[in-house]
Structure 1
């Protein structure tokens, strides 16, 4: 569902040099949220220079109180990671997704969260202190306030703002196909001088974090044979590795 938002009411407080700012409202234990996050990674292969993405935790009101209590550990872990900066916070969130999608591991276990935090390059002493502090709770309550202000009621949802045009923001609720999101980007950026990024296969898989040969070939508009050959070279250079998952054979960045 697509809805307009009043630009003056929901204008982001901070701006970047990129024309679009996206707010991704997600529940880390909601599969659709991760599917949307993965679609946004694909969108980055064409539009990465034109938007900044902000993750906002959102728990649907229909979730029972006992389940909300179970979600608290992972929610607070995400906020504790984000306290160490946008880059490290994003890395932590994406590694959570890797564990869920590739390894099918539970991410509500605190030991697993500590391992992911370490792999993400977080300061572990600071991370564990923040986990036990009230700062993370306040950060999560801030996310809830943003969701209420933007009238977000379901996960996942995307909210778009364009810094160069005093137009209404755009809210897209639920999960849709890649084509739908690409169309929205084209519409919102129709007045921008879009240039092709011309990603290499290595750059593409770094944006995706993991993928198969067919998907990379379609995104870059090249042959699957060319992708396979290049990935094998990158594997010999220890830049990627082949992983067998329930989804089939995937190539993952090291």
Structure 2
């Protein structure tokens, strides 16, 4: 289905929709790739996160073209929302991120990182509201406002909009990225699953119609300060260096008390 144009306020040449589940390990594993993509080519694209709370994940990956869709210019969501009781954990996680997003996009990103730290590094579950509240505290949110929003129609409606976008773009697997350029007559490209970095770069080149010069990568220390959590393989991939050299650089930072090792992860402590 065709649309009338890009969303208002989008001035960059490409628009990328990133469909994620906060509790999906593959979505978290893709983060270093996306961070490198943003550093090198972020001047050419706007990135929009779309949350998926529950999903029947398909086996394998897909890479195909899709039409532009009406969801790109806004979705009319239902005012009345019926919730299951008890709510499934994936839904609760996505709803909590949308509640945090009501305090701003950066607030939601900080909250999501805290949530993923609890799940993927500390190995905890989020079956209790207290866990979500602790994430809000650690993310520097207005905690009382977050608690109120967590049970408000606004957060539910915002998540419902994301779910409707995913349904209309026929997204059935996470992570999924959908690329659109500024020509409304062109089709978008949808790619599901995790791929090597060069695949996403090739897609950007194809959608732009030329090969831009990538921006320079920052020092590893600066990247870690932004990423907070990385593996040695992440650093090796981002900086295109051997695993042994990445390990050596991270150990140097540990001696400087800039990072600490938690299992297979390196955590920035600055």
- Which TM-score tier does this pair reach, normalised by the shorter chain? 0.7 to 0.9
CA deviation profile, 1:166-216 (whole Å, cap 9, x unmatched) = 522222223334342232233234436324323211222234432234542
Residue in 2 aligned with 1:3? none
Retained in 1: the 8 A contact 2:53–2:94? Answer: no
Deviates more, 1:81-90 or 1:222-231: 222-231
C-alpha separation in 2, matches of 1:130 and 1:67: 18
- The match for 2:103 is 84
Quote the residue 1:138 is aligned against. Answer: 157
Give SS of 1:53's match. Answer: strand
- Counterpart of 2:123? 104
Which residue of structure 1 lines up, in the alignment, with residue 186 of structure 2?
A: 167
Asked whether the equivalents of residues 204 and 216 of structure 1 are also in contact (C-alpha less than 8 Å), the reply is: no
Instruction: Note the C-alpha offset of 1:128.
Output: 0.8
Are residue 48 (structure 1) and residue 42 (structure 2) matched? yes
Report whether the alignment pairs 1:251 with 2:266: yes
Paired with 1:101 and 1:61, the residues of 2 have a C-alpha distance of 19
Q: Once the two structures are superposed, what CA deviation does each residue of 1:115-140 show, in whole Å capped at 9, x if it has no partner? A: 11111111111111111211111111
Picking from 13, 24, 32, the partner of 2:7 is 13
Tell me if the contact between 2:18 and 2:49 (Cα under 8 Å) persists in the aligned partners: yes
Listed one character per residue, the Cα deviations across residues 70-102 of structure 1 (whole Å, up to 9, x for unaligned) are 433222211110111111112212222232222
Distance 1:181 1:75, change over 3 A: same
Partner of 1:128: 147
Counterparts of 1:235 and 1:217 in 2: how far apart (Å)?
17
How many residue pairs were aligned?
243
Q: Which moved more, 1:112-121 or 1:65-74?
A: 65-74
2:51 is equivalent to residue 57 of structure 1: yes
* SS of residue paired to 1:180: helix
| Partner residue in 2 for 1:115 | 134
Aligned to 1:14, what secondary structure does the other structure show? coil
Partners of 1:20 and 1:32 in 2: CA distance: 24
d(CA) in 2 for partners of 1:166, 1:197: 33
Cα distance between partner residues in 2 of 1:227 and 1:28: 27
Please, which runs of 5 or more residues in structure 2 have no aligned partner?
Answer: 58-83
What SS does the corresponding residue of 2:180 show, helix, strand or coil? strand
| 1:199–1:220 CA contact under 8 A, matched in 2 | no
Q: Name the residue aligned to 1:24.
A: 18
Match of 2:223 among 204, 208, 217: 204
Q: CA deviation at 1:143?
A: 1.0
Deviation digits for residues 110-165 of structure 1, max 9, x if unmatched? 22211111111111111111112111111111112222332323333211122367
Task: State the superposition RMSD in angstroms.
Answer: 3.1
Alpha-carbon contact 1:41-1:207 (below 8 Å) kept? no
> 1:5-52: per-residue Cα shift (whole Å, max 9, x none)?
x5526x542343433222111222333333334432343343233333
Q: Answer yes or no: is the 8 Å Cα contact 2:33–2:238 preserved in 1.
A: no
